[in-house]
Amino acid sequence: MKAVVFHGLGDIRLDDVPDPALSSEFDAIVRLTASAICGTDLHFIRGTMAGVEPGTILGHEGVGIIEALGEGVRNLEVGDRVVIPSTVACGYCSYCRAGYYAQCDNANPHGPGTAFYGGPKEAGGLNGMQAEKVRVPFAHVNLVKLPDAVSDDEAILISDIFPTGYFGADMADIKPGHTVAVLGCGPVGQFAIASARMLGAGRVIAIDQHDDRLDMARAQGAETVNFAVEDPVETVKRLTGGIGVDAVIDAVGVDAEHAHGGPAAEHPAPGAARDASPDARSDAASWKAGDGPMQALAWAVEMVAKAGTLSIIGVYPPTDNLFPIGAAMNKNLTVRMGNCNHRKYIPMLVERVRLGEVAPTRILTQREPLSDALAAYEAFDQRRPGWIKVELQPRQPGRKGNG
């Protein structure tokens, strides 16, 4: 089958690889009808999150049809149409039972941390979903059956980025009427905005430097701030009577950029730039690491009100240790963070989309065949205007909801 394979920093290829096979009674093989590219994939290729082994198939977002099932999977059938949560969980350890699926004790064969598809060896080293098929472990919990009324275009957004945005808003402890800032208006930030509104936020202030992404945030009702034109901390304070926001959601992560224009450019980038990711591609033309890895967190701590909440869903590598602890401590902040417990939110989000309460597909800007994955990756990496969320479509018969 065809798959997007990681070969090294700045080097991904569309390769022919063997089809996956069942390896346990709890496995399933899913023939994918949709996959997608995530900002997390960029960290791997840019070198800001190390440890993906060459030969690993990338991609942790998927929708498809069950093609084979181990005998231990009792709740699904071959032929079922499913969405695949990005993180892998066993469903029976104490963490899974408490809803902390991303901290499952059993899903990661290589360590105690979160297991997910198409990531570093320490995250399980599982092959990913930018491919025609995928092997899903513990399929009884890691596949969620889709109703006919939810299209592939909707479901692919519920595999990772919608639950992650919702998780960010959930951790932000939003009460009706709160004012929430969202740093980063990529796909995850867009869903953090949508989710903050679902949870009753009175105002959402969205911060990025790309106009197409800010326009999409504004179309969702957010107030927008371009950090390359205005100082984002000063502007947020001005928009909130000098108080700051009740909560900030960091939807940027380690590839954060320092401001290169406007008044914020005059301040130095915070943090020792590359200690956490020594191999990051800082001088490259493509797959270029952000030059302010701690910038989003530094702004977040400054723009939140005293006793406010900081919710971190942007990804930072395990080696990172540059959080502005003194500033946060002295403001009595609550800081919550982590890898999304996707499986906790996905059934609820599928149902809300089925009921028509939320229409996520306006965030999906591109649908490309898997055969064009490398060009699609390049456009997403380069932030080509309009390329916000990219769905990849393995050419498969019987595809549903091909919007």
Residues lying near ligand NAD in the complex (CB under 6 A):
38-40, 42-43, 160, 164, 183-189, 207-210, 213, 227, 251-253, 256-257, 290, 292, 295-296, 313-315, 339-340
Of ligand NAD, Zn ion, none, which one does residue 304 interact with (CB within 5 to 8 Å by kind)?
none
Work out whether 160 is an interface residue with Zn ion (CB under 5 A).
yes
User: What secondary structure letter does DSSP report for 158?
Assistant: H
Nearest-CA neighbor of 311 among 290, 352, 331, 340? 340
Q: Which residues, listed in sequence order, are joined to residue 84 by a DSSP beta bridge? A: 62
Positions 29 through 68 that interact with Zn ion (CB under 5 A): 38, 40
Work out whether 96 is an interface residue with Zn ion (CB under 5 A).
yes
The CA distances from residue 168 to 118, 190, 191, 251, 300, in Å, are 22, 11, 9, 8, 14
Binding piece for Zn ion, criterion CB under 5 A, among 120-128, 156-164, 247-255, 317-325: 156-164
Output 179 or 190, the one with its CB closest to ligand NAD: 190
Q: How far is the CB of 149 from ligand NAD (least distance, A)?
A: 25
Give just the sign of the alpha carbon dihedral 299, 305, 306, 312: negative
Give just the sign of the alpha carbon dihedral 324, 325, 328, 334: positive
Output 104 or 171, the one with its CB closest to Zn ion: 104
Of ligand NAD, Zn ion, none, which one does residue 186 interact with (CB within 5 to 8 Å by kind)?
ligand NAD
Of ligand NAD, Zn ion, none, which one does residue 46 interact with (CB within 5 to 8 Å by kind)?
none
Burial tier of 332 (Cβ tally within 10 Å: 0-12, 13-18, 19+)? exposed
Of Zn ion, ligand NAD, none, which one does residue 213 interact with (CB within 5 to 8 Å by kind)?
ligand NAD
Binding piece for Zn ion, criterion CB under 5 A, among 158-166, 235-243, 309-317, 377-385: 158-166
Rounded to 5°, the CA angle 40-46-47 comes to: 95
Of ligand NAD, Zn ion, none, which one does residue 93 interact with (CB within 5 to 8 Å by kind)?
Zn ion
Whether 142 contacts 27, CB under 8 Å? no
Whether 73 contacts 140, CB under 8 Å? yes
Output 26 or 166, the one with its CB closest to ligand NAD: 166
Output 29 or 134, the one with its CB closest to ligand NAD: 134
φ, ψ of residue 15 in degrees (nearest 5): -110, 160
Residue spans of alpha helices (H) in 73-145: 94-97, 139-142
User: What secondary structure letter does DSSP report for 57?
Assistant: B
Of Zn ion, ligand NAD, none, which one does residue 90 interact with (CB within 5 to 8 Å by kind)?
Zn ion
Of Zn ion, ligand NAD, none, which one does residue 257 interact with (CB within 5 to 8 Å by kind)?
ligand NAD
Q: Token pair of 210, please?
A: 């790309």
Whether 138 contacts 90, CB under 8 Å? yes
Q: How far is the CB of 400 from Zn ion (least distance, A)?
A: 23
Output 40 or 366, the one with its CB closest to ligand NAD: 40
Of Zn ion, ligand NAD, none, which one does residue 252 interact with (CB within 5 to 8 Å by kind)?
ligand NAD
| DSSP string for residues in 289-350 | PPS-TTHHHHHHHHHEEEEEEEEE-S---TT-----HHHHHTTT-EEEE-S--HHHHHHHHH
Q: How far is the CB of 117 from Zn ion (least distance, A)?
A: 10
Work out whether 84 is an interface residue with Zn ion (CB under 5 A).
no
Instruction: Give the footprint of Zn ion on this chain (CB under 5 A).
Output: 38, 40, 89-90, 93, 96, 104, 160
